[in-house]
Structure formats: C-alpha cells, structure tokens
A and B are shown apart, each in its own frame.
Chain A
C-alpha cells in the first residue's frame, strides 16, 4: 500500500516539476509535495502504521523519493533560472549610444604647462613665481635692458599711472629669485606676460611662458644644451632633432634660439622655433649683487631659458588661430577631454 502511494506521489511530483514553466509554479509544486502539508509529507506520516519489519524498506523508499524529487526540483529550478537569465539580456541593444555625463577637461594651456613642468621638475627644477604687476627694475634694469630700449615704452608695454607695468616676460622672476636667495638657483616659473600687441591670429597681448634658470659655480653651455635637449626630447619625442641658433637677448650672452624639427603628415620636416635661451649675462649678476649689497652671484655662471606655452600648444595640436586659446569655446575645449 504505502509503497504504491510513494510511487504515485513521486510520479505525480516529477510530472508536475517537468510541467512547471515558471519559478512560481515550481515553488507551488515544492510546497504541495515536500511542504508541511505536502503529499509526500502526508505519506511519510503513514510510517507510524508500517510494521516494524517493513520500516527499513519503506523508509529507504521514502528517502529515495524525497531525494529524487528534491534533485528534480533543483534541476528544474536551475533550468528555469538559466532561461530567466537568458531572457534578462534578450533584446538589449548594445549599439545604442551612451548616456551622457557632463564633459569636463583641462584647458590646453594647462595641459602643456603641466607637461613641461612635470618634465622640468623631474630634472630637479623647483617652481618659483613673482608678481605680474612689476616695477621697471625687475622687468628691465636688472635684466640688462638699456634705459632707452624700444620695449620700455608705453606703446609696447602696459604701464600703470603708478609707474609700474605688466611684466613683459616671466624673466622678471629670475631677478626676484636671485635677490631673495643665495645660489645655487634652479627654478622654473610658468606664468603670464603682457605685451601691447594687437590681438590677431598669431598674437595675444597677454600670453603664457615658462621660464627656467640654473645658476651655480661653473654652469656651462654644455649644461644648457644637455638640459634643453633632454627637455625638448621628453616633450616632442626621443627622436626629435634639436638645434641651437645664435641669437641676441640682453639678459643672456651667448644667446640662442632653439628649433625642433617636426614633420606634419604629408609634409617635409621643418625646423620650428620653440624657445630662447642663453648663458646668464654677467651684467645681470652684477645688477643683483649691487641691489642686495651682497657679493653672492659674482663669479657664478648660469643659464636661462623661456618658452611660449601658446606656441607649444599650437604646434602640438595644430591650432591655427591663437585666439581659440582665449575664447574658451566648448566645441574647442571638448577636444582636449
């Protein structure tokens, strides 16, 4: 009797399990079979009445039925879950466009400045700065610019009624640093400078430079060359050819302009002027020592260099009109994100 009942319950349960086509239905089968009031549970309660001699055999049969049903339930559940998982990704269109985050990014001038600063700091330069509203001494006199030099004119330089001016070059920081500390000096200064140039595709009246200065005992042209070659190769690539052309600046002697050889796609390589540099003119050291009344810089040698950041950005990214760098059009800026 009991054996038959067990077989029936098992057969019905297995049939129901196979027929359950969703999780809810399967759970109902589980409850109606294995639950407290389930069919198998009820049959199990009949064990009391089974004679002792048959108990082991019926018990084994019951266990087997329970295990089989449980296994079938688990198997069916895995199958249904697998189907659900499959369905969960059905119809997802991976070709749809992205949702949009607000686009943020840094300004190209910040990007080139940061890159230049990173390379130079790796070479042991530390940062320095100075005021943009300067006096004539730091902007011109200290840097060996003669009294009647064309730049010292209110047509070329922004002056204030106070007699002060907007610095025309970041080289003013050379004087600022040297008058406030003893050598050795190894500094860079990224910053703004101003010239009274009408704004057009290649000129801004306010622009950014990075200035460098290294002063110590016995600094040589070799150091100037090696330092700037390393810097420019780091900036433009190891294979970049760098050349120095003699030039003239009042605050360095000898002075050089530096060209790097760059190649635009489909064009012959060209030498592009990128920076000015030179050995610090001894007159600058004399001016500093005269001002401070200390003889700290007499007998020192050093080199200085300056690079225009707008120019660097224009060369790097092929920017044709310098005004793009001050207009801050997001269609332009977004290209640097």
Chain B
C-alpha cells in the first residue's frame, strides 16, 4: 500500500524524523518498506520556460526543435519528442546539470544532428503525478525563469507491504495510529466525526443474507453537485496512485485511504425502492463499472433493489449502471460490513480485485462502518453541497468475540437513534508467559505501557480489552507478539541452550547419500538436480519427458501421478524415474558442445501403487547416466574411450564396494531400453540397468551409446553400510597361472565363471578376466570366435604350494572349463 508522507502529517507529527528514520521505524514494526519515492522537484535548475518556436526535425516523425525562453536573455534550443504542446505554452525546462528524480542528470547533447541544451519535462519526469500525456503544461501566469519547485509540493511516498494479519494498517489514519502506538507519540485529531446521526433503516434495507452481511448502512444525500474534486483532495488521491474521477467518487476513495473502510456511492435515481443485500442467483449476470460482465453463483453477495437489478457486487465492485455520473443529483452512500471469506471467494473466482475487496477480505472493522459513513457525509456536504438524511442502519455489528467471552465484554456504542454495538475482544495475559518467552528480559511495567500505547486497556488484573480496530488480537500469544515486536527483539538477549536428541533414520540416510555423492563426484561424475515435474510428451530434447522414463519397476497405466492444473505442459507429471531429467541434461549439454556426459542425481521419484487407486509412494533413488567420452580429449591422451557398460558397472561397484554386483537381463522388454537388466547386489534386486534405446538417443541428438542405471538408495544403503570385519592377511604366498580360452563370440563371461566354479577347486582363491581378444578381419582368429584370457590365483592357507600342486589345481580348473563348455579350447 502507498502512504503519502504529507497526508500522514495531518494525523501525526513526525517532523523530527528523517525519511530513513521513519522507514526504519516501519521496518521494525513489521511493516516492510518495499520502496521509497521522493516526489517533486528538488532543484533550482528546472525552470518555467515558454516555447517560442517549434520546427519539425527532418527525417523524424515526432521530434521537434524548440526554441524556448527560460528567462536567460536568449533563447535555448531543445529537441523535444512530445506532441501535446504548442508555441506559446509554458512548460518546465530542465537545464543542463539538473538532476531529476531517479538520479537522472540532464546534459547537453545532440539528437538527430540537432543540438539539444536541456529537456522539456513531463510531470512524471519531475516525480509529480502525471495529469496529461506529454509535457506538463503550466499555467500561463507562471513567470518565465522561475524555478518550478516554487509551485510544486514535495512529498515522500512509502510503498509498504502490510502483512495479512494487519488490515488495520491499510489507511493513513491506521498507519499514523500504529506509528503513534509504537513510538509513544500523540495522534492529532481523529478525522472521523465523533457522533453519527443514525436511524433504523426499517423496510429501506433488506438483509437477505445476514450471515454474510450482518450490518449495512445507507445514507441518502440529495442535491449534490457533481464536479471535479477540490485540488487538495485530488492531490492526495494522485499522490497514492489514484486517478480523480468526480468529487463524490473521490470522497469515497479518500475515506478508504484515510480510515481504511471501503464505501460505495450509488446514483439514487438508479435505485428503485428498498435495497436488498442478497446472494446472487446461479448464472445471474453482473456488469461492472469497468464494463466487464460476470456470471455469478449463489456464493456471491450482491446489492440489488426492488427491480431485482444487481447494483453492485458486495464489497468488490459497483455496477455499470448504478454509479455516480455528472448527471447525478441524489446519491445513496453505502457503508457496510461483509464477511471476509465471502468477498475473497468472489474476488478470486472472478479474478476481480479492488481496493475495497482487498480490505474486506482481510477483515474490515465493523466499528469503522459508521465512522467512515459519517466522515464521507461530512466531506460530501463540504465539497458537493446537498442535504444528508441520517444514516439508515440495518442489522448489527457481527460479534467476533467468542460466546464465553461475550458476556464479560466491554461494548462500544455508536450512532444516535439506531445503535451499533461493538463488543471488544478481551484477552487474559499471564506475565509468566512473557517471562518464559523472553527469559524475563522484558519488565512487566514496560510491557503494560506498550499494550496501552497500542490502544489496549487493562479492565481488571491481567485482563486486557483490545481496541476495536485490532481484529488480530484474540489470544495471549497475540499480545506477547505485540510486546516483543514493540520492545524490540534486539533488546532481548540471545542464548543458545541445546539438548541432544537421538540420531534419526534420516540422519543415517543423509550421511550415506552425502558420502556416496562425494565418491561419485570424485570419480568424475557431475551431480545434477533436475525438476521433479516433467512433461507427458515433448518434442524439445532439453525437456524431460515421460517416454524416457526407465524406472526399476515397469510402469502400468495409472501409476503416473498427474498434477490437476499444471503450470505448463513441460511440468505436468511427477517424475517416476530420474532418467528423463538426466537424458534432458545430456541433450542440453551436448547442444553446448560437451563431449563428456557423466551425470548423477540423488532424488525422489513418485508413483502410484495401484494404477491411480493405490497409495502414492515416494522413493529416494540414485540415477547415473554416462554417454560420450570417458574424459575430455587432451594432448597427452588423444583418444578417450566412449561410454561402455563396464564403465557404468565400475561406478555401481564404487557405490557398493564390498558387495557383489551382477546384472541379470530383464524378461520384459522396455521400449526406452535397447538392453535392460536388473541390478542384483549381493543377490538382492536393487536397481535397473539400461542401454538407452538408440531411437531415443537419435531423438535427443546423443551420438554415442548411452547407459543409465537407477538404484534404490534405501536398499543400497542397507547393503553398503552393513557392518563387516576385516579378513586376516594370507600367511603363505599364492601362485598365479594364466589361461587363454578360445570360445564362440556369443559365450558369456558368466558361463565361464560358472564352469570354473564347477571345478570346486579349493586352492583357487580368485580369477579375473585379463583380456578379451577379437579379430573382425578373421586373420588371427575367426571372426565368430573370441579369446578370453583369465588370471587364476592359487593358495593354501596352511602352507606354501609347490609348483606341481599349483599345476595340478590349475589343470583341474581347465578341465572343468573344457567339460562344461565343449565349444572352447585352450590356447
């Protein structure tokens, strides 16, 4: 909300404070200062000048070369782009050296080859409210050469963010009251008249929805003269960013910004018979004063008359045909209280907001209904003439005090013939609570003083009556907040007591995940964090899309969790796997020229267990993607190998170093995978391994093979963090033997291992694959054959083996291989 310093000055004296001091005071009261604007001209270098000549600049459709008289004895040449002036007009002229609001310094220069020695200014360029489009045309009686600052008022505009619990601050009087309360200053005269002349509305107002609108007042004022507002009023509205319309409408707006209570004025000629405040009918049409038509629901509250025409959408906006125009002579002034949730619902559903709905939905004080009405009547009579009838009151202020408290509540009474009663909220505050919250650092006397300054009254020991405008003060913690806020948290000491709590399951998961991530990063993988919302389909390779999902468990229709109202098609479903994100990252980086694509992500995936009818489950997984080169090529290693399955396998072993990892091909085909295998760690199915389908790589522009693995982090943690004991080091040396096995190209390493195991050779400690040789030319080895060289290590834990013993053991192993794999031969 915008607060004008000049306007504020009418209610509180802040002359001893600088702008910054006021801003700090607001900040530490919990009111965020989002912006500060100095309004008006602050320099003598902007003067009144008269345009003496105006010649179009050749080749430009809007520039003119002007010769202006700025009272310097000779004319000054200035190029100007505005079009709303003529020769003879007086306008503000900024001379070279002038610094305009926003720190903009005027210099001599050239435009389209023409010298320009200054600038002719619009009002907004001088930090003044803009009334016309273009230059600020000054009155002819202003003397040439006079500094414009002599005719303009300076002001400071505070752009404030008011938190939703403080609707009482949404006005100048409210803000002044707050500043007075927190600084202990005195307020000037309350602008609202002390007494309101009221009569019961009788049949004149029908409250058809009393739960939504329990209190409605209407004041008829006859014989008003509609005209532009007086200058002082227009200036104040312009200062806070409003456009003056006519005196009556301006006064309703003025009262809103002065007292915080929204008002509305109807043209009495357009209202037939009594007012009816009722719920709208299903599908009822309403055309607002902005000439937009809305279709209403029974949830919406409207003001209508005996013809059943909708005059206004209650608390939100007036209707097109019921408003005050230049032809209006009699008006009906509305001041009422509407249920915040009702106004909010209507305003949000229709996307129709106003200064009025903003205040009603945050909560207007019923106590302000008559105050605002009386103040507006006073101003209308003063500015527009006419005769006012007493304020017609229907209904009663809503009681916001709980039933059990209501019996003891202090009640304010307003109005002359028709009374409006306003029960004050009262709260019991035990100083012990304050002592606990602040460790006894706030003296009780000081706390009481703070509450009193804010308008609270101690009615009996510990029992506080809250002022009628503070709807947010209901419980003792609300009062504690006020005390701490005003006393200042900087005056409360800091302490750091700590307790020890047991380590949680999540602590251990976090430690595991952190260490795993560091290990993978150390192995040359780049950690990424991709968006959890992905696209259902996308033709953009850099967008993570569902068809690229490679989760552990294949997805059934309905397992995918869709957002009801996505922000964009690219973010419409929750990712069921990390692969779409990682593939999009690979595609994006390829586009940027990256050669090495090695990425991992630890994060949550989502799926429904029962085709949309089961539980939504969330699991933490690790996704690893490799493609492209293993490392960037460089002068020392010109050729880098391309990503291959064994590289990804090595990374899996890094994730679970002590475990045995094997891949077992999936029975079920997956469209996104050319090769698909379950990852077994210590025999447990922990993840999914895939060679990404070449078709996908082509779509994404990935020119090399691309491998992806996804592991369940919970299972991985269980296995990788299982306790273990060290093994004793062998006492006797082992002996190694190599063997090269020629086999059909289709033979799997796993089959060889199985054959070796079948030998049940107790002396065999380990064997590992040293080399796989193939010759596609068929010269050294037939192209459909391969030679696999294995190293075997033999050892006896009780003695040193002799060469004969080793040879015997080795030959038993080789025999087993030949027996089990007849199509092989030893080379």
Determine if B631 and A129 form an interchain contact, defined as CB atoms under 8 angstroms apart.
Answer: no
Q: Which residue of B lies closest to A185 (CB)?
A: B501
Q: Is the CB of A253 within 8 A of B599?
A: no
Complex CA–CA separation, A329 to B475 (angstroms): 51
Size category of the A interface is 35 or more
Note all chain B residues with C-beta closer than 8 A to A133.
561, 574, 606, 616, 618
Q: Identify A246's interface contact among B30, B504, B517, B566, CB under 8 A.
A: B30
Q: Does B523 contact A (CB under 8 A)?
A: yes
In the complex the two chains form, is A102's CB within 8 Å of B489's CB? no
A192, CB-defined interface residue at 8 Å: yes
Q: Are B484 and A254 interface neighbours, CB within 8 A?
A: yes
Query: With A117-B510, A244-B489, A245-B32 as given contacts, are A104 and B521 in contact (CB-CB < 8 Å)?
Result: yes
- The 0/1 profile, CB within 8 Å of B marked 1, for residues 193-224 of chain A is 01011110000011000000000101011110
Whether A104 contacts B32 in the complex (CB less than 8 A), given A159-B564, A159-B565, A281-B477, comes out as: no
Complex Cα spacing A220 to B436, Å: 6
A100 to B510, CA, bound (A): 31
A166 to B166, CA, bound (A): 29
Task: Please state if B567 and A330 are interface contacts (CB–CB under 8 Å).
Answer: no
Produce 1/0 per residue, B530-566, CB < 8 A to A.
1111000000000000000000000000000111111
B498 touches A124 (CB 8 A): yes
B223 CB within 8 Å of chain A:
no
Cβ contacts under 8 Å, B164 to chain A: 248
> A97 to B636, alpha carbons, bound, how many Å?
9
Q: Which residue in B436, B510, B528, B606 is a CB contact (below 8 Å) of A301?
A: B436
> Once the chains are docked, how many angstroms separate the CA of A247 from the CA of B164?
10
Contacts of A131 in B (CB 8 A): 616, 618
Do the beta carbons of B618 and A104 come within 8 Å of each other?
no
Q: Which of A101, A123, A129, A253 contacts B481 (CB 8 A)?
A: A253
Contact B521–A243 (Cβ < 8 Å): no
Taking CB as reference atom, which chain B residue is nearest A128? B506
From 233 to 264 in chain A, residues with beta carbon under 8 angstroms from any chain B beta carbon are 243-248, 253-257
Shortest CB-to-CB span from A199 to chain B, Å, is: 8
Q: List residues of chain B with CB within 8 A of the CB of A117.
A: 510
Closest to B166 in A: A248
Q: Specify which of A114, A123, A248 is in contact with B30 (CB 8 Å cutoff).
A: A248
> Are the CB atoms of B498 and A222 closer together than 8 Å?
no
Question: Are B524 and A101 in contact (CB-based, < 8 A)?
Answer: yes
In the complex the two chains form, what is the Cα distance from A100 to B506 in whole Å?
37
A225 touching B165 in the complex, CB below 8 Å, given contacts A126-B503, A164-B616 = no
* Stretch from A20-28, A61-69, A81-89, A105-113 that touches the partner: A105-113
Cα separation A124 to B502 with both chains bound (whole Å): 9
B211 to chain A, nearest CB (A): 15
Q: Are B507 and A184 in contact (CB under 8 A)?
A: no
From residue 288 to 337 of chain A, which have CB atoms closer than 8 A to chain B?
301, 325-331, 333-334, 337
**Quick one: CB contact mask for B182-224 with A, threshold 8 Å, 1 for yes?**
0000000000000000000000000000000000000000000
Q: Give the distance to chain A from B143, nearest Cβ to Cβ, in Å.
A: 42
| Chain B residues in 8 Å Cβ range of A126 | 501-504, 506-507
Contacts A104-B521, A248-B30 given: A132-B532 contact, CB under 8 Å? yes
Verify B571–A205 contact, CB threshold 8 A.
yes
- Do residues B567 and A226 form an inter-chain contact, with CB atoms below 8 A? no
The answer to whether B599 touches A254 (Cβ under 8 A) is no
Question: Given the interface contacts A150-B348, A222-B494, does A104 sit within 8 Å of B526 by beta carbon?
Answer: yes
Check B525 against A104 for contact (C-beta < 8 Å): yes
| Cross-interface CB contact of A327 among B497, B500, B517, B588, cutoff 8 Å | B588
Which residues of chain B come closer than 8 Å to A329, judged between CB atoms? Answer: 588-589, 592
Contact: A301 with B437, CB < 8 Å?
yes
**Chain A residues closer than 8 Å to B533, beta-carbon distance:** 158, 194, 205-206
Q: What is the bound-complex CA distance between A334 and B632, given in angstroms?
A: 13
Contact indicator B499/A106 (Cβ below 8 Å) = no
Would B494 and A226 count as touching, CB distance under 8 A? yes
Q: A186 contacts the other chain (Cβ, under 8 Å)?
A: yes
Rounded to whole angstroms, the CA-CA distance of A34 and B489 in the bound complex is 95
Taking a contact as CB atoms closer than 8 A, the residue among B475, B496, B497, B510 that contacts A282 in the complex is B475
CA of A281 to CA of B28, assembled, Å: 20
Q: At the interface, yes or no: B815 with Cβ under 8 Å from chain A? A: no
Residue of A nearest to B521 (CB): A104
Complex contact A326–B530 (CB within 8 A): yes
User: Which residues of chain A come closer than 8 Å to B490, judged between CB atoms?
Assistant: 243-244
Number of interface residues of B (CB under 8 A): 91
- B587 to nearest A CB, angstroms? 11
Interface-centre pick from A99, A133, A334, A337 (highest chain B CB count, 10 A): A133
- A64 to chain B minimum Cβ distance, whole angstroms, is 45
Residue of A103, A107, A216, A337 touching B529 (CB-CB under 8 A): A107
| Contacts known (A222-B439, A245-B30, A325-B529); A227 close to B589, Cβ less than 8 A | no
Determine whether A96 belongs to the interface, using a CB cutoff of 8 Å to chain B: yes
- CB-nearest residue of chain A to B602: A110
The answer, among A101, A166, A225, A281, for a CB contact under 8 Å with B492, is: A225
With A and B bound together, what is the CA distance between A51 and B641 in angstroms?
Answer: 77
Q: CB-CB < 8 A to A166: which residues of B?
A: 563, 574
Expressed in whole angstroms, the Cα–Cα distance for A227 and B518 within the complex equals: 29
**A4 contacts which chain B residues (CB < 8 A)?**
none
> Do A220 and B439 form a contact, CB below 8 Å, given A133-B561, A248-B163?
yes
Does residue B630 face the partner (Cβ distance < 8 Å to A)? yes
Please, which residues of chain B bring their CB within 8 A of the CB of A103? Answer: 524, 526, 596, 632
Contact B439 A148 (CB under 8 A): no
A161 at the interface (CB under 8 A from B): yes
B604 touches A333 (CB 8 A): no
Q: Does B65 contact A (CB under 8 A)?
A: no
Q: Choose among B30, B438, B494, B522 the residue that contacts A104 (Cβ–Cβ < 8 A).
A: B522
Neighbouring B residues of A125 by C-beta, 8 Å: 501
Give bound CA distance, A301 to B476, whole Å: 13
Pair A106/B521 contact, Cβ less than 8 Å: yes
Are B517 and A220 within 8 A (Cβ)?
no
Q: Verify A226–B589 contact, CB threshold 8 A.
A: no
Measured in the bound complex, the distance between the Cα atoms of B400 and A192 in whole Å is 38
Q: Which of B641-695 contact A (CB under 8 A)?
A: none
> In whole angstroms, how far apart are the Cα atoms of A131 and B493 in the complex?
37
- Provide the bound-state CA to CA distance between A330 and B632, in Å: 13
B525: chain A residues within 8 A (beta carbon): 102, 104
* Residues of A contacting B157 in the complex (Cβ-Cβ under 8 angstroms): none
Alpha-carbon separation in the docked complex, A102 to B493 (Å):
51
Closest to A102 in B: B524
Query: What is the 8 Å Cβ interface bit string for chain A, positions 180-194, against chain B (1 contact, 0 not)?
Result: 000011110000101
Shortest distance from the beta carbon of B68 to any chain A beta carbon, whole Å = 39
Docked CA distance A110–B600 (Å): 12
CA distance A131 to B617 in the complex (A): 9
Specify which of A162, A186, A198, A279 is in contact with B567 (CB 8 Å cutoff): A198
- Across the interface, do B504 and A326 meet the contact criterion of CB distance under 8 Å? no
CA distance A194 to B489 in the complex (A): 31
B637 within 8 A of A: yes
Q: Which residues 25-53 in B have Cβ within 8 Å of A in the complex?
A: 27-30, 32
Query: Contact: A222 with B531, CB < 8 Å?
Result: no
Residue B269, interface by CB 8 Å: no
Q: Please, which residue of chain B has its CB at the minimum distance from the CB of A111?
A: B527
B480 contact from A123, A150, A197, A254, Cβ within 8 A: A254
B334-357 at interface with A (beta carbon < 8 Å): 340-341, 344-345, 348
Report the separation of the CA atoms of residues A266 and B599 in the bound assembly, to the nearest whole angstrom: 37
Q: Enumerate 8 A-B pairs (CB-CB under 8 Å) in ascending A order.
A: A100-B632, A184-B501, A196-B567, A243-B490, A283-B475, A330-B592, A331-B592, A333-B527
Residues of chain B having any CB pair with chain A under 8 Å: 27-30, 32, 163-166, 340-341, 344-345, 348, 436-439, 441, 475, 477-478, 480-481, 484-485, 489-490, 492-504, 506-507, 509-510, 514, 517-518, 520-533, 561-567, 571, 574, 585, 588-589, 592, 594, 596, 598-599, 604, 606, 616, 618, 630-637
Given contacts A124-B501, A245-B27, 17 further A-B contacts (CB under 8 A): A117-B510, A126-B501, A132-B532, A148-B340, A158-B567, A159-B565, A164-B616, A186-B498, A221-B439, A222-B495, A225-B493, A229-B494, A246-B489, A254-B485, A256-B489, A326-B530, A328-B528
